Chains A and B, each alone.
Chain A
Amino acid sequence: MRRVVVVGGSIAAVTAASWLRVRGFDGTITLLSAEKEQPYTRVPLSKTVLSGEATDASTALPPLDDSVVVRLGTRAVSLDTTARRVNVDNGDPVPYDGLVIATGGRARRLSPPGMSGERVLRTLADCVALREDLTRARTVLVVGAGLLGMEIASTCRTLGLEVTVVDREPPLRRVLGPVLAEVVTDAARKHGVSLRTVPGGVRLVGSRTLEGVDADGELLTADVVVSAVGDVPAVDWLTGSGLCLDRGVVTDSRGRVADHIVAAGDAAVVRGSGRRPHWTNAVEQARVAADALLGEDTSGASLPSYFWTNQFGVEVKVAGEPAGLGEPDQAEAAAGSMLLRWSGGAAATVNHTMPVRKLRQLASAP
């Protein structure tokens, strides 16, 4: 294997390219990213970059070393696994001996094609556009009360905007479970956010321009409407490639998709365990997938997954998946801070200082 092509500009793509070098791969590595910016972190986009407190440039990740060819503004449009070539929108097909699929996801939208006015937040460009709209707004309606939607709501409150969040389920419950969700929801209420639960779901109303959101018969309107309703794996370009697609591209536990092809991050769906669209997971999957491409198996027992959120003055760090585990077995609370543990394999802190390494060990301890 002399030529590896990494498709995507995501953290999974950057990590895979880095990790191939760590493992001593000295052939060519070409990274194809559809975005025009050097690879960056999306994590601050809902927080300090949206508020304007941090610059767009501050999101840049340390650059890959010079031996990696980074082609920005280059979108993969299809894959030929027989000829082993990636077809792109701005030049000749890119040949590979080994391929890493790390195209991430794109924001899911609720408006029909042709309707303008619905904002989403996934890319830096999305963030810039939303931030621009917010400077002229007094009211904001956030559709989706998951981690992203609630972080956007929090940032909008710090900007002094009037914020309503609407979802068919109570905020954050599906991802944090009832106990943690309530802690954060309580903080959101105290920060003056109007939270609306609409079990029947919502529908965007308008023809060419978005006019409002139909919430079970009531029309909600705002200066800015932003949807935070999950992401869709960006695997359209693999249609017709013969690879197994099931929402994302299907991999085994080592990230293997087919001979000489691996995938990692938000574009990947692991057979039997699905998709975990979090930063830490993308990094860990990318390392294992890069190893698999080089013929090594490093998929052994790993620590429980880890994710976090910062909103309304509350920092929550979570190891494992507490949603579905109900009440924690163990809870310690001090002034404004909590440490929670579920015997089903999860632990979490709320405004509590503890190395994440220890939190993850605590989650997996018997």
Chain B
Amino acid sequence: MTVSIELIPGRCEGHGVCEAIAPEVFQVDDDGMVHLLPGGDHEDATALAAARSCPVAALRATS
């Protein structure tokens, strides 16, 4: 089973909670929005914990 984390368009408000937990997968740029870093391990438990921590539910994990 392959898990993929996606950003739901239009929802990110740049609170950076995901980045604080899993900076190897999520990065908030100077535009204030989160970006998924290339090569990040989306199946890693830390990345999934980070995806669940978004206050505006902007991240989706699909398998």
Contact = CB atoms under 8 A, between A and B. Distances in A.
Task: Point out which of B13, B31, B61 has the most chain A C-beta atoms below 10 A from its C-beta.
Answer: B13
Interface string A312-340: 00010100000000000000000000000
A65 B17 contact: no
Contacts of A59: 57
Interface residues of A, number: 33
Interface stretch (A28-36, A107-115, A238-246, A350-358): A350-358
A65 B53 contact: no
A354 B53 CA distance: 20
Interface string A5-40: 000000100110011011000000000000000001
Given A62-B48, A65-B48, A357 B20 contact: yes
Interface string B7-51: 000000111110111000000111110000000000001101101
A220 interface: no
Task: Count chain B CB atoms within 10 A of each CB in A22, A60, A355 and give the residue with the most.
Answer: A355
A22 B19 contact: no
A308 interface: yes
B2 to A, nearest CB: 14
A41 B16 contact: no
A194 interface: no
Nearest to A15: B53
A62 B52 contact: yes
Contacts of A62: 48, 51-52, 59-61
Contacts of B14: 353, 355-356
B55 A41 contact: yes
Nearest to B51: A62
Most B CB atoms within 10 A — which of A19, A65, A283, A310?
Answer: A283
A251 to B, nearest CB: 20
Contacts of B53: 11, 14-15, 18, 283
Interface of A: 11, 14-15, 18-19, 21-22, 40-41, 43-44, 58-65, 279-280, 283, 287, 306, 308, 310, 315, 317, 353-357
Interface of B: 13-17, 19-21, 28-32, 45-46, 48-49, 51-57, 59-61
17 contacts: A15-B53, A18-B48, A18-B52, A44-B56, A60-B57, A61-B57, A62-B51, A62-B59, A280-B15, A280-B17, A310-B13, A315-B13, A353-B14, A353-B32, A356-B15, A356-B16, A357-B20
